[in-house]
Every structure is written in C-alpha cells, then in structure tokens.
C-alpha cells in the first residue's frame, strides 16, 4: 500500500463534528435531529472538560452549600455536569426527555412530538475520585421513542439496551476523550480533545478489543461478600499457569469509565458482580451498564451479568442496578463458566 492510499483510507485526524456529519450523509433519509443531538453531546463534553480541568483552581470542588473565596456558593462538579448536559440537550428540541443518575425522576425537555429521542446519562461517574484528581467520566446513551405522539414518560426509558441508537462515554483523563458508537456496523471510535483549538480529533479509529487480555479489574476488598463462584474465578485468575497467561495483573481505579476504557483498549476483564450485600450489584443498568455493553459489543467484546447478556435485560425501574462483567470475549466466557459451576 502506498502512503497516499493508506492516508486516504484512514480518517484519523478528522474532527468529531465532521465524523458526525459524515454519518448523517450516509443516511439520505436522516432529518438531522440525531446528528444535532450528537453534536450537543460533543458541545457538553467541551463545556464539562473546561469545568473538570479547572476543578481544583476554580474552587468548583467541594460540597453544595460551601462558599468559595469570592463568597459564592459552590456547586458540586457532578451537579455542574448534570446542568450542562440538560442545557445542551434542551437547546435544539430533538431530545424529549432525559434520565440522569443525578435525578430521581425523568426530566421532560420538549413536549413537541417531533422530539423523537430520549437520553440517559451519568453526568460525572466515579465522583469519589474527583477530590483526589483521578480520572472520571460521563456516560451516555440515546434511545428512540416508540410512540412520540404525547409527552415522554418513564416508559420511553424502560427499554432493553439492545435498542440503543448510540452510546459512549467521555473520559476526563490525562487528556479528554470521547468514545462513541452507533453500533457494530459503524464501529467504535475514540476522539481526543485538543484544548488549544477546542476540537475533538479522531485518534482511535475502529477500536477492537483484544480477544483475551492480561488484567482483571475488580474491587478485591469485597472478597468476603462475594459468592463462591466469584471467589473460585478470582483464585483461578491468580494461579500461576504460563500456558493460559496466568496470573493476570490486577488494575482497579474505582472509576468505571477509567476501568472500562483501559479494558476496552488493552483487553481483559472488568467485573462488579452481585454479592451478599448488593444482591443486584452496584452499578446502574440504564446509564452505566447499557452504554458500556453497547460499546463493548460493538468493539467485539462481551457484557454480561455473569450469566445473562446485559443488552437483553428489560428494565423495570429507572435507577435499577445490575451486576456487570465487561471485557474480552474469552475472558468473559471463562467468568461465565465459573458462574455456571466450573
């Protein structure tokens, strides 16, 4: 391949806006509503990044009710991120309602029947890491309403994850990245933010998770609470056996976006299983597990509860929890074998 053709076939370096626009051009019947929604997510990503990057300096850190040096009331960063997303998504009229980790109920944005989409998000995940300057993130998913003749209700959100039209996350790490997919056909792509020009550029084109990895990611402090199958899998993954690449290394940030992102790029397994304290696991189905399951499957990975596919679960509640196991197909398969009694 000449350098000219390889340059032509790679889109690395295009902006997130161009990528979104090209996606719309590939669908002649598109109205532009979905494109506009994705662009508003990109805008929110820039706005939240600027707040996250100044967190320590601007005294945004802290708890609601505290006052900063100017005597102004300080808002928690996760509330700032939540407000930013609501305002960005409310602006164009395509998003009928949102469900957020930060809010008990669904928030209605537009009653107009032309608002055909709803969005789920966790505005700032891993919030216990904010105060210690460790990577955090925003997780989001977009669903199409089945019936958009009347105002949106909670029913519009209680759909299995396999109905997501798009999902992704924004990682505020050593750089800010948006990782986005509209499904397996379009692939999973990562865009890195250049703060000097205020744009996201395609840096990770068509991310594919390795078939098998070398690390496992789990809160091992929960060992006493784990069920027997999880303990057996945990003991197995730490055994010394060169032929199967064990022992695996352990990596756990405690910030889902960071742990899942590393697992997506490097392979391996992330698990937050059910335990004797949290029978349904800790993580939330609609705006944590489903978007990541959608991303992982589109990248060739797997996402299960340990026994069932995450994207098939029909939710009954907005803030429902689920056990979550994400990762390389071979690593997740082995975890499931242990759950079945290996």
The interface with ligand FDP within residues 207-246 (CB under 6 A) comprises 219
Per rule CB under 6 A, is residue 276 in the interface with ligand FDP? no
Return the residue of 198, 254, 276, 317 that touches ligand FDP, per CB under 6 A: 254
Output the six-digit token pair for 331.
Answer: 């690593």
C-beta closer to ligand FDP: residue 82 or 255 = 255
Determine contact, residues 260/302, Cβ cutoff 8 Å.
no
Per rule CB under 6 A, is residue 278 in the interface with ligand FDP? no
C-beta closer to ligand FDP: residue 38 or 213 = 213
- CA 151, 105, 293, 324 dihedral sign is negative
Site mask, ligand FDP, residues 102-131, x = CB under 6 A?
-----------------------xxxxx--
Per rule CB under 6 A, is residue 275 in the interface with ligand FDP? no
C-beta closer to ligand FDP: residue 191 or 270 = 270
Rounded distance between C-alpha atoms, residue 238 and residue 67, angstroms: 48
Determine contact, residues 269/328, Cβ cutoff 8 Å.
yes
Return the residue of 255, 305, 322, 328 that touches ligand FDP, per CB under 6 A: 255
Per rule CB under 6 A, is residue 250 in the interface with ligand FDP? no
State the nearest-atom distance from the C-beta of 126 to ligand FDP, in Å: 4
Output the six-digit token pair for 220.
Answer: 């091992």
State the nearest-atom distance from the C-beta of 203 to ligand FDP, in Å: 23
Rounded distance between C-alpha atoms, residue 156 and residue 161, angstroms: 12
Return the residue of 177, 256, 298, 303 that touches ligand FDP, per CB under 6 A: 256
State the nearest-atom distance from the C-beta of 259 to ligand FDP, in Å: 6
Name 79's bridge partners.
none
State the nearest-atom distance from the C-beta of 181 to ligand FDP, in Å: 20
Rounded distance between C-alpha atoms, residue 33 and residue 115, angstroms: 8
Give the number of residues in contact with ligand FDP, rule: CB under 6 A: 13
Q: Is 180 helix (H, G, I), strand (E, B) or coil?
A: strand
Q: Is 122 helix (H, G, I), strand (E, B) or coil?
A: strand
Site mask, ligand FDP, residues 38-57, x = CB under 6 A?
--------------------
C-beta closer to ligand FDP: residue 211 or 220 = 220
Per rule CB under 6 A, is residue 249 in the interface with ligand FDP? no
Q: Is 245 exposed, middle or buried (0-12, 13-18, 19+ CB in 10 A)?
A: exposed
State the nearest-atom distance from the C-beta of 75 to ligand FDP, in Å: 17
Determine contact, residues 213/269, Cβ cutoff 8 Å.
yes
Classify each residue of 179-218 as buried b or exposed e, where b means 16 or more C-beta atoms within 10 Å of its C-beta.
bbbbeeeebbbbbbbeeeeebbbbeebebebbebbbbbbb
Interface with ligand FDP by CB under 6 A: which residues?
A: 125-129, 219, 254-256, 259, 282-283, 288
């Amino acid at each position: 391949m000449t350098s000219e053709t390889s340059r032509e076939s790679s889109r690395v370096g295009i902006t997130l806006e161009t990528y979104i626009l090209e996606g719309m051009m590939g669908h002649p019947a598109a109205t532009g509503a979905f494109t506009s929604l994705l662009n508003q997510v990109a805008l929110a990503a820039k706005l939240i990044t600027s707040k996250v990057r100044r967190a320590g300096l601007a005294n945004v850190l802290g708890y609601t009710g505290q006052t900063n040096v100017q005597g102004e009331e300080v808002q928690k960063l996760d509330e700032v991120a939540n407000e930013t997303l609501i305002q960005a998504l409310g602006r164009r009229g395509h998003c009928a309602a949102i469900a957020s980790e930060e809010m008990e109920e669904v928030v209605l944005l537009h009653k107009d029947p032309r608002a055909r989409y709803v969005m789920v998000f966790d505005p700032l995940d891993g919030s216990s890491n904010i105060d210690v300057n460790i990577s955090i993130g925003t997780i989001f998913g977009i669903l199409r309403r089945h019936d958009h003749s009347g105002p949106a209700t909670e029913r519009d959100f209680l759909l299995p994850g396999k109905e997501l039209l798009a999902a992704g996350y924004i990682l505020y790490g050593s750089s800010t990245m948006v990782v986005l997919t509209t499904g397996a056909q379009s692939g999973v792509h990562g865009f890195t933010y250049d703060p000097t020009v205020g744009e996201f550029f395609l840096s990770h084109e068509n991310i594919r998770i390795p078939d098998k990895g070398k690390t496992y990611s789990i809160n091992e402090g929960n060992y006493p609470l784990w069920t027997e199958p999880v303990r057996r899998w945990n003991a197995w993954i730490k055994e010394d056996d060169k032929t199967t690449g064990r022992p695996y290394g352990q990596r756990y940030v405690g910030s889902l976006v960071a742990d899942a992102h590393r697992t997506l790029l490097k392979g391996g397994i992330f698990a937050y299983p059910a335990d004797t304290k949290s029978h349904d696991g800790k993580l939330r189905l609609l705006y944590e597990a489903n978007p990541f399951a959608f991303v992982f499957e589109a990248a060739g990975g797997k996402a299960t509860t340990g026994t069932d596919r995450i994207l098939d679960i029909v939710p009954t509640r907005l803030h429902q929890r689920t056990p979550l196991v994400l990762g390389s197909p071979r690593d997740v398969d082995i975890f499931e074998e242990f759950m079945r009694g290996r």
